[in-house]
Structure 1
């Protein structure tokens, strides 16, 4: 098996058994970056020298019988809004183009302690405020399945780098869908954890009341392995939850027989491109064949989620960026500057009504969880569009605004603070990936990994790899 065809879990096992060397893995990743990243624009900063130094040290430790943790010797990429000590951290912006932190974000530190090797900082939508990763400062991230298509965002570099085999796992951040969207569009697995489950310390914020950090990798097992190393309370983050963590890997192989899967038929399967509709419906049939039960649920007020999300996700970033926006407006890309300016025009009453709606929507979902164990819906209603597109056609030939359309399903967990996992579930006629979203109860990420792994055990969508062309 080619090194870059290994899943993160397989690579970790091979490293432990001394069948694969951390040095070999890092060299293979660096070779992929050199071959393909000029075209795909997944990295902002490549830490080639330091990655090789750490890989050699990791190998020496293993030969001496020492293992740091679950990720010992595993090449990982980090979205460029997480602080990494002595590494340029730009948040995909010109404003922070030269910022070099003198500390690690909590997630960065915990990954490092678990033995991960940092390959570099990944490209993203500027300041994470957008869903395309069409970055005016560092280049538009392109989809490995078809470089003329977008990689989604804001963690587009993370999604594309994993799909292209430039790292075995990546860290993304998710406010309105920024882990799940690029995971779906690039054909990988990605988790938005429960709000407060993972520390945001050292992460440049977008919207404080919705920001989360999560893993992106090829499989649910890979994501569980990464998540095991950095989930949990952090006293440096004031909104970090004191909820106990679990052994996420131990529960992966549990049967899903008797699992109650909730669907909201008048929302989850409304306003979709046909291939997306069909792929998710077929995925539900797979679960039924495994013994799960599909339960139709009515969430009375679900239709207001996009408006509420856009209100909150406009007001809070504009608050954070207020000073820079006045002092350095021309250093922002036009799309982000416009969104930040619009956010300052919102009324306090609009923001507060959106927050009230969040409480209502969460209460409705918590009530529904008495009847179901998880919900399953599409991750987004369409597949990858052309790079640079600001509009999308979902049905009836009507063009729609990309930002609102892309959040149709991801906004629900974002507003309610619920955990959700994207799992690849098919491809459209053009060969572009389709993802489904599994939504769980608060702090029940173990169930999401279990449900995702059960599907991946009997399907092969997550095993397929894009055919890449060497950059000219």
Structure 2
């Protein structure tokens, strides 16, 4: 099959896998073209920290041989996938975006890496991250800031900054990130792609460097909703090595994609989620709501009376648990930190023990309150973020509510509540600002009902027909 490099690298996972399965394209051909593009494009956006090009080609050759011998493993076989650089990879550096671990090589693979390898995926490399994943801006890594492929002066959002930028710039067909308060959905929204924070406990965290043990999630970033479901199908599942893993029957998260949403109910919060947001964001999200209505969905208002308390409790738990993870690092390596990350860690010293306990008790309230609403609607729809992508190193926004606050609080405001209650949350592109920066909506669902979120996300995706590969960096520069 004759295809240009540009066309090949913009394919969805679903399309590429069909061509690989039919032997119309070889994994080696894909890997060669991808590595070439990374070499050309990534110096402009800085999404990768580590790539072993020889190993990538070896993986591709093995996939070629397996497929040639009739051992096709499924839709990720021979497909290059990137990993956030705090997901452990045996014999490949895992730096956490930090000076402290800049040369660290784990002696085992994270469970999600083993699952990808069993599915035949090609691990293309390790992706840049906000240092120790402690920041939603994505521009505080020891290895330098990641730049947004839509505008390299703008931030990607974080902390899964490289994971989103690489997928957006067609340097990987999909990637894995982590999300503790925003860190998959925010960069997905800022970079114009699809990002899923799955239900807490659905995806193993074994072999993933922690930020907050009770808030961390691992999830996929892709250019399409179907691709996201394909990737989640592979990485989900019980893991006895993860004490927070939940044993559930396996399911196909793509099973309801394409069924439509006529007659299904969408809940729109009456407060908090639509308060103090950029007017361009509001307009894009309201347009998406009208599109859903046109597709037959029933739109109704919902009330989450304790949402402010839920939001504040997330902040207390995050800073307390992050400090517990890094207390020894701070003592052993006092000078090996980004100043902003270290300052944020030290804010935990002002938190009293009883405040942490009280915040943990709010977790049940957070789950019950959302579950009560989700008894009457199929999904909750909100903006993913209240703001548009700021410039790299910008730390304040002009929305009156947030003047004087660090930008991190405006970035994470709308995503953090579902880290506290563990409910699945999907960010899907819904439009662009006047200066062509992406805007996303967030869909929140019931525990382990990711399939319904994909159903709604796919319906919107097909109607809006946003080309998530259109703004790859070589087309904007």
TM range (shorter): over 0.9
User: Pick from 160, 168, 174: which aligns with 2:165?
Assistant: 160
Provide TM-score, normalisation by structure 2. 0.96
1:67 to 2:75 alignment:
no
Distance in 1, matches of 2:310 and 2:34, equals 40
Partner of 2:458: 453
Partner of 2:393: 388
Query: 1:397 Cα shift?
Result: 9.3
Partner of 2:13: 8
- 1:197-208 to structure 2, matched below 5 A, reads 197-208=202-213
Distance in 2, matches of 1:43 and 1:386, equals 20
Distance in 2, matches of 1:311 and 1:266, equals 22
The 3 A distance-change label for structure 1 pair 470 and 97 is farther
1:418 to 2:423 alignment:
yes
Query: 1:28 Cα shift?
Result: 1.8
Counterpart secondary structure, 1:135:
coil
Query: 1:136 Cα shift?
Result: 4.2
Q: Are 2:168 and 2:472, in contact at CA under 8 Å, matched by a contact in 1?
A: no
1:155-177 C-alpha deviation (Å, 9 max, x unpaired):
00000000000000000000101
Q: Are 1:393 and 1:400, in contact at CA under 8 Å, matched by a contact in 2?
A: no
User: Pick from 31, 35, 38: which aligns with 2:36?
Assistant: 31
Provide TM-score, normalisation by structure 1. 0.97
1:101 to 2:106 alignment:
yes
1:435-467 C-alpha deviation (Å, 9 max, x unpaired):
000000001111111111111121122445215
Partner of 2:254: 249
Segments of structure 1 that go 5 or more residues without pairing to the other structure are: none
Q: Are 2:146 and 2:162, in contact at CA under 8 Å, matched by a contact in 1?
A: yes
Partner of 1:267: 272
1:292-333 C-alpha deviation (Å, 9 max, x unpaired):
011101111112333222111100010011111111111111
Distance in 1, matches of 2:447 and 2:163, equals 25
- 1:432-451 to structure 2, matched below 5 A, reads 432-451=437-456
Distance in 1, matches of 2:407 and 2:468, equals 29
Q: Are 1:219 and 1:462, in contact at CA under 8 Å, matched by a contact in 2?
A: no
Query: 1:38 Cα shift?
Result: 1.1
Distance in 2, matches of 1:175 and 1:329, equals 24
1:216-242 C-alpha deviation (Å, 9 max, x unpaired):
000110010011111010000001001
Distance in 2, matches of 1:471 and 1:181, equals 22
The 3 A distance-change label for structure 1 pair 397 and 345 is closer
The 3 A distance-change label for structure 1 pair 465 and 305 is farther
Q: Are 2:402 and 2:410, in contact at CA under 8 Å, matched by a contact in 1?
A: no
Misfit runs of 4+, over 3 Å: 395-400, 469-472
User: Pick from 331, 337, 355: which aligns with 1:350?
Assistant: 355
Query: 1:114 Cα shift?
Result: 0.3
1:391-438 C-alpha deviation (Å, 9 max, x unpaired):
122358945421111111101211111000000000000100000000
Q: Are 2:193 and 2:468, in contact at CA under 8 Å, matched by a contact in 1?
A: no
- 1:155-234 to structure 2, matched below 5 A, reads 155-234=160-239
Partner of 1:364: 369
RMSD: 1.6
Query: 1:63 Cα shift?
Result: 1.6
Deviates more, 1:109-118 or 1:250-259: 250-259
Q: Are 1:171 and 1:214, in contact at CA under 8 Å, matched by a contact in 2?
A: yes
1:121 to 2:121 alignment:
no
Distance in 2, matches of 1:399 and 1:327, equals 33
1:102-152 C-alpha deviation (Å, 9 max, x unpaired):
111000000011011011000000110001111341010000000000000
Partner of 2:156: 151
Distance in 2, matches of 1:302 and 1:322, equals 30
Distance in 2, matches of 1:327 and 1:397, equals 35
Q: Are 1:259 and 1:293, in contact at CA under 8 Å, matched by a contact in 2?
A: yes
Q: Are 1:43 and 1:120, in contact at CA under 8 Å, matched by a contact in 2?
A: yes
Count of residue pairs the alignment pairs up: 472
Partner of 1:307: 312
Distance in 2, matches of 1:397 and 1:246, equals 41
Q: Are 1:262 and 1:376, in contact at CA under 8 Å, matched by a contact in 2?
A: yes
Deviates more, 1:268-277 or 1:106-115: 268-277
Query: 1:249 Cα shift?
Result: 2.2
Q: Are 1:37 and 1:471, in contact at CA under 8 Å, matched by a contact in 2?
A: no
Deviates more, 1:102-111 or 1:127-136: 127-136
Deviates more, 1:167-176 or 1:243-252: 243-252
Query: 1:245 Cα shift?
Result: 2.7
User: Pick from 320, 325, 338: which aligns with 1:333?
Assistant: 338
The 3 A distance-change label for structure 1 pair 394 and 423 is same
Partner of 1:290: 295
